[in-house]
Amino acid sequence: MRSLQLLGVLSLLLVAQESLAFKAHDFKTCSQSGFCRRGRALSARAKEAKSSWKSPYSVDPGSITVASDRATFTAGVKSSLYPDIKFGLELRVHDDGVVRVRMDEVGGIRKRYDEAAGWALIAEPTVSKDIKWTSGKKNIRAVYGEKKENEIVVVFEPLKISLLRNGKEQVVLNGQGLLHMEHFRTKTPEVTHTEEPAAQEGEEVIANSETQVVIKAENPRAWFEGDTEDDWWEETFSSWTDSKPKGPESLSLDISFPNHGTIYGIPQHATRLALPTTTGESPVFSDPYRLYNADVFEYLASSPVSIYGSIPVLHAHSVDSTVGIFDAVASETWIDVGRASEKSTETHWISESGILDLFLMPGPTPEDIFRQYSKLTGTPVLPAHWSLGYHQCRWNYVSSDDVRTVQKRFDQDDIPVDVFWLDIEYSEDHKYMIWDEKTFPDPVEMVNDVAALGRKMVVIVDPHLKRTSNYPVYQEASERGLLVKTKSANDEYEGWCWSGSSSWIDFFNPAAWEWWKGVFKTQKSAKGWSWTQSTEAVHIWNDMNEPSVFNGPEITMPKDNIHHGGWEHRDVHNINGMLFSNLTHQAVAARSDTPKRPFVLTRAFYAGSQRFGAMWTGDNLGTWEHMAVNVKMVLSINIAGMSYAGSDVGGFFGNPEPDMLVRWYQVGAFAPFFRAHAHIDTKRREPFLYDQPYKGMMRDMLRLRYSMLPVWYTAFRETTVTGVPVLRPHYVMFPKDPRGFDIDDQYYVGASGLLVKPITAKDVTETTVYLAEDQVYYDYFNHFAYRGATKGKDITVPAALHQIPLFIRGGSIVPTRERPRRSSTSMKNDPFTLRVALGKAGYARGDLYLDDGETYSHQKGQFVWREFIAEKPMKKGKTIRISSKDLGSAKPNEAVDGVTLKTFNPANEFAKSIGDVRVEKIIVLGITTKPTAVRIEGGEDLIWDYTPGVACSDKKEGIASVLTIKDPKVLITKDWAITIQW
């Protein structure tokens, strides 16, 4: 009976899902979006006019005021088209050289949305103390930087802002004259829609798609603004009408990078890492890149169409410079990308609303950009250690017994897994947090059964609340007035999502924050409903938070809906999803007395989302194409600040053949977030269901991932401090090597020296890997030593189905834990293996970061951070010395999460708790002659084994020699040194 009911629910869902199947016409193209069309028309007119085009915007030199901080100046700006309209410009140089450029309308009839940066930034940036603005007749400028290498220049007429380094232009704003801030205006009778207009002399009737509008022929602004009031006051798309009560308020700005031929960033789009062009002679895409968080069902594998999240950050790169921009805008934004020459890029940003609030990041290296960007918006949060293990999800595990059985099957087959997930069907009528008692009669016991084996559960909580009186979460939100309102600002907005008729919490309302935190308490509370049928082992998945509204325009909320503070949804759309995951993160952290690190997965995101957890690339397809583009998308998200990213392993839609699934596990094992997930309509595909050899291949990949958890965790530690991403594409590692600029199918994991190239095509048996430097790279598995070259070199490597091309860069020491376990928690006291991959100079280095993995005690100094070095000491003759030393004391400012620990004690409680943990094996690659002795410095001889290389020398490629020290008798938390002698 129960299963029949379930089937009924499932088939209903299938129907719902099918009716959602992606059709291009669900989403606007630029030409269907009024302000984008206006922006592109402006640029088309500028192009046509060529050199006679002149921006009407200029700075009034008499209005310049330098603030008392000396780093900031403000000035009045006007447009010759509208002499009565005033704009204010503000430039401010931060202490790290970032320049913030703000422009807003002053004294307008309304206020533009100016809070986007407030949600994205971690704090108000501090300004530089060494700025001196020098104002002349034609411009105002400041030269700054350690070597006075940077210069910011604002030319008054026409307004142009340039950032230069050593006299060379890096970023130029309004160089092409496309700046246009549409000021607020009143709807005049002149432009109201007329019925059957009769053209008078001197007037012309212009037809637009909806109505006819009479425009004065002598309209002097037409050259710049166009001669129609194109969708100024109302806009229709499909069956929806956007009432646009504020009228036109878009912002257009060209941003050029005259000395940078490659750009990266502005995720999320399904495309290559180095962004293809959208304008020019033969653009790759005909539409601009769009940033408008959207639930795009079955998104295309190569497209500038916006999908679930938006991070308006861009890197412009060349052999000698990387610069970046962060555009703190939350409204729908379109970005055209063109190439003026091979070495120069032009972009055009068109946003629907909001002030201009732009951060220019001077670089000059990718690492500098990461530092500058994360100083603004924060570094990724340090994830709970267990969450870097493997996550098993599907839509849906249908009952608590189903969950128990799946867990048992993993254990029977010795396949490691840390987390079981529940999609929306756990809930009664999709009232999230209310268990469906028919199928999940014992939720707490089920979670406890999972937790008893050291594992966790992640349960979905979507932002749409079923509008029904028997749903306390909805009831409370409604009674407290916490729901998003319709355009009237009085009524609760009602839309359609999984739970049928639904409303959405307005997280812009601070009153919603404390209430939401209360909802996640696992104890009963006098203040309101709380989720007592949950435990601390339950973490949260925030899906559908673009927000997805099945019956809304473009599957989202109407833009004229009203949020707290009176802002329209249009103004805040791209931030909306981040607020949901932010508050959920806070709520999960706040539910326990000893706060534990929450895990929150979000589908929608914005700049700053990295502070709240992980993201994934949404509903991908089980195709090779999607597998390949997902790798690129995860790289793109990484360089845009959000390292904790992954994609649905297996592909959400479809039933992958076993070989494809194996490849997908390889992709997942080398993504920061590793989760298998599948649509409700797919066949079950847990690894234990497969025959050999596939099952074994998937298990091997999972074991490889688990053995490398120390590498992932250490890489995450670094990104929490420096912002340098966990996944590092070639341009980040080798910024001066142009051959690597377009490479987005191979990448490095943190600073570990691991280089990986997941295979994303069928029937591959070998592949080429690009080595950018004159260095040795060892095959991780068979120790074959490949040699790169100064100018870069392609190597051909084996890549049969069971193989993933994985290399250790010479000069690296990689710590792993190689005892196969069922979950990461059972590895806590496992010994370590160190792989010492000697580089060309006979040197290697690596580090290892450990803490309790789930509390915040690391912020109080409860951690272990070691540095391993292998070197040839100059005076000691033929010796290689491998040593371990404490890094926590050596680098107190780099502790973790940016917390400064001046008094770090390497013998802290956590370190004591793993005081017995040994290094069980050291493998040294690349020693060309057999040693005579290996001993602990100042101590005993060790047992070792040496396998000479095959056809391999300092210069020749071949299988490297391997020295294995079986039990080096050293502890992971202690200082030690081992010498290898001849």
Residue type, 226: G
CB 646 within 8 A of CB 705: no
Binding to ligand NOJ in span 436-475, by CB under 6 A: 460
In single-letter form, the type of residue at position 564 comes to H
CA 636 vs. chain centroid, Å, equals 7
Q: Determine, following the binding rule CB under 6 A, whether residue 424 of this chain makes contact with ligand NOJ.
A: yes
Between residues 677 and 728, which has the closer beta carbon with respect to ligand NOJ?
677
Token representation of residue 897: 């999460």
Contact call for residue 395 and ligand NOJ (CB under 6 A):
yes
Q: Which CB sits closer to ligand NOJ, 113 or 440?
A: 440
Q: What is the nearest approach in angstroms of ligand NOJ to the Cβ of residue 498?
A: 7
Instruction: Between 154 and 555, name the residue whose CB sits nearer to ligand NOJ.
Output: 555
395/516 with CB nearer ligand NOJ:
395
- Dihedral sign for Cα atoms in the order 590, 592, 597, 598: negative
Is residue 571 involved in binding ligand NOJ (CB under 6 A)?
no
Q: How far is the CB of 426 from ligand NOJ (least distance, A)?
A: 10
For ligand NOJ, which residue of 352, 423, 568, 894 counts as binding (CB under 6 A)? 423
Nearest to 813 by CA among 892, 737, 926, 696: 926
- Min CB(603)–ligand NOJ separation in Å: 6
Q: Which residue number, 395 or 410, has a Cβ lying nearer to ligand NOJ?
A: 395
DSSP structure string for 915-939: TTPEEEEEEEE---S--SEEEETTS
DSSP state of 185: -
Q: What is the CA radius of gyration of the chain?
A: 29
Q: Which is nearer to ligand NOJ, 287 or 423 (CB)?
A: 423
Tell me how far, at minimum, the Cβ of 170 lies from ligand NOJ, in Å: 39
CB nearer to ligand NOJ: pick between 117 and 614: 614
CB of 439 vs ligand NOJ, minimal distance in Å: 16
| CB contact at 8 A, 330 and 571 | yes
**Which 3 state secondary structure label does DSSP give 15?**
helix
Q: How far is the CB of 682 from ligand NOJ (least distance, A)?
A: 10
Confirm if 666 and 745 have CB atoms less than 8 A apart. Answer: no
Choice between 591 and 603, CB closer to ligand NOJ? 603
Q: How many CB atoms lie within 10 A of CB 772?
A: 21
Helix axes 366-377, 709-722, angle to 10 degrees: 70
Question: Which CB, 159 or 422, lies closer to ligand NOJ?
Answer: 422
875-894: contacts with ligand NOJ (CB under 6 A) = none
What is residue 396's DSSP assignment?
T
Report residue 163: phi and psi, to 5°: -105, 125
Alpha-carbon distance 649 to 419, whole Å? Answer: 14
Q: 501 vs 953, which CB is nearer to ligand NOJ?
A: 501
521 binds ligand NOJ (CB under 6 A): no
Instruction: Find out whether 306 and 270 touch, Cβ atoms under 8 Å.
Output: no
The answer to whether 619 is a known catalytic residue is yes
**Length of the chain measured in residues:** 982
Residues 533-562 that bind ligand NOJ (CB under 6 A): 543
Closest CA to 435 of 411, 461, 454: 461
Angle at 376 between CA 370 and CA 379, to 5 degrees: 55
| Number of residues located near ligand NOJ, criterion CB under 6 A | 10
Nearest distance from C-beta of residue 976 to ligand NOJ, angstroms: 47
- The 580-609 contact track toward ligand NOJ, x by CB under 6 A, reads -----------------------x------
> What distance in Å separates the CA atoms of residue 194 and residue 727, rounded to the nearest whole number?
57
Encoded tokens for 868: 């391993």
- Which is the catalytic residue, given 418, 543, 744, 779? 543
Task: Give 314 or 422: the residue with its C-beta nearer to ligand NOJ.
Answer: 422
Alpha-carbon span 819 to 808, nearest angstrom = 20
Place of tokens 């000035």: 75
- What SS3 state is found at 722? helix
CB of 266 to ligand NOJ, least distance (A): 21
Closest contact distance (angstroms) between CB of 17 and ligand NOJ is 9
Check binding of 677 to ligand NOJ (CB under 6 A): yes
DSSP structural state of residue 13: H
Identified catalytic residue from 327, 619, 648, 737: 619
- Tokens 């397809």, residue located: 621
Q: What does the alpha-carbon distance between residue 739 and residue 728 come to, in Å, rounded to a whole number?
A: 16
Tell me, what amino acid is at 637?
I
Question: Scanning residues 73 to 92, which ones bind ligand NOJ (CB under 6 A)?
Answer: none
- The neighbouring-strand residues paired with 793 are 771
Contact between residue 726 and residue 716 where contact means Cβ atoms under 8 Å apart: yes
Dist CA 917 CA 940 (whole Å)? 19
Return the SS3 of 340. Answer: strand
Kindly tell me the burial class for residue 282, based on how many C-beta atoms sit within 10 Å of its own C-beta (0-12, 13-18, 19 or more).
exposed
Per-residue tokens: 756: 């990986």
543 is catalytic: yes
Could you give the string, one character per residue 833-852, with x where binding to ligand NOJ holds by CB under 6 A and - elsewhere? --------------------
Measured from the CB of residue 678, what is the shortest distance to ligand NOJ in angstroms?
Answer: 8
- Among residues 310 and 351, whose Cβ is nearest to ligand NOJ? 310
Q: Residue 505: beta bridge partners?
A: 483
- Pick from 505, 500, 513, 496: which is nearest to 477 by CA? 505
Considering the complex, what minimum distance in angstroms separates the CB of residue 505 from ligand NOJ?
18
Query: Taking CB under 6 A as the rule, which mask of x and - marks residues 372-391 in contact with ligand NOJ?
Result: --------------------
Query: Nearest distance from residue 556's CB to ligand NOJ, in Å?
Result: 14
Instruction: Identify whether the C-beta of residue 327 lies closer than 8 Å to the C-beta of residue 269.
Output: no
Site for ligand NOJ in 613-632 (CB under 6 A): 618-619
| Residue 546 is a catalytic residue | yes
Residues numbered 692 to 751 that lie near ligand NOJ (CB under 6 A) are none
Report the DSSP beta bridge partners of residue 755: 748, 807
Give the residue nearest to ligand NOJ (CB).
395
If the CB atoms of residues 460 and 911 are measured against ligand NOJ, the closer one turns out to be: 460
Least distance in angstroms from the C-beta of 14 to ligand NOJ? 12
Interatomic CA distance for residues 42 and 82, integer angstroms: 17
Residue 791 DSSP SS3: coil
Tokens of 444: 């707490």
Which among 182, 352, 546, 854 is annotated as catalytic?
A: 546
Measured in degrees and rounded to the nearest 5, phi and psi for residue 815 equal -90, 135
Question: What does the block give as tokens for 134?
Answer: 């020098």
Footprint of ligand NOJ (CB under 6 A): 395, 423-424, 460, 543, 603, 618-619, 652, 677
Active site residues: 543, 546, 619
